A = this chain, B = another copy of it.
Amino acid sequence: MLNQLHITAEDMIQQNGGRATAGRIGILAILLAEQQAMTHREIEQRLPEAVQLDRVTLYRALEWLAGKNLIHKVTSDDRVWRYHANRGVHNTHQHAHFKCMCCAQVICLDALTIERNWHLPTGYRFQEIELTVKGLCADCG
C-alpha cells in the first residue's frame, strides 16, 4: 500500500521531468497517503530514518512539487505553510479549506464552491480566491 504510493510518486515525479530522488518520492508518498494538509514539520517527522533530509532540501522539494502542480500550498493565520497532494478537483486551485481552531488541523473542503455574484471596486481585477472556514473539528468539537 505505502509501497504502491512510492511507485505512484516516482512516476508522478519522472513524468514532470524531475529526478526521482528518495527525498522527493518519500515526501510525495507521505502527502498522497495523508488526507490533511501537512506542515513542513509534520512531513519531516514522518520521513523514515533512511530518508532524513536537511530542512532546506525539504523546503526546496516541496517548492518543486508545488511548482509542478503535484501538491499545493495552503496559507494559514499561524504563519505556517501546509502542503497537500493534488487529486482531481484540487487542481483548480479554487477549493476552500477548514482549519480547526483547537488542534490546528487543516482539511480541504472539496464540496464548497464559491459563488461569484459579488463585484470588486472599479478597476480592480479578480484573479483567485482564498477561503478558510474556521471552527472545531469532529474530535475537538
Which residues of chain B are within 8 angstroms of A111 by Cβ–Cβ distance? 118-119
Q: Which A residues between 47 and 98 are near B, CB-CB below 8 angstroms? A: 75-77, 79, 98
Count chain A residues whose beta carbon lies closer than 8 angstroms to a beta carbon of B: 34
Interface residue ranges, A against B (CB under 8 Å): 75-77, 79, 98, 101, 107, 109, 111-113, 115, 118-138, 141
Does A134 contact B138, Cβ atoms closer than 8 Å? no
- Chain B residue nearest in CB terms to A74: B77
Does B132 contact A129, Cβ atoms closer than 8 Å? yes
Which residues of chain B are within 8 angstroms of A124 by Cβ–Cβ distance? 98, 135-138, 141
Does A123 contact B137, Cβ atoms closer than 8 Å? yes
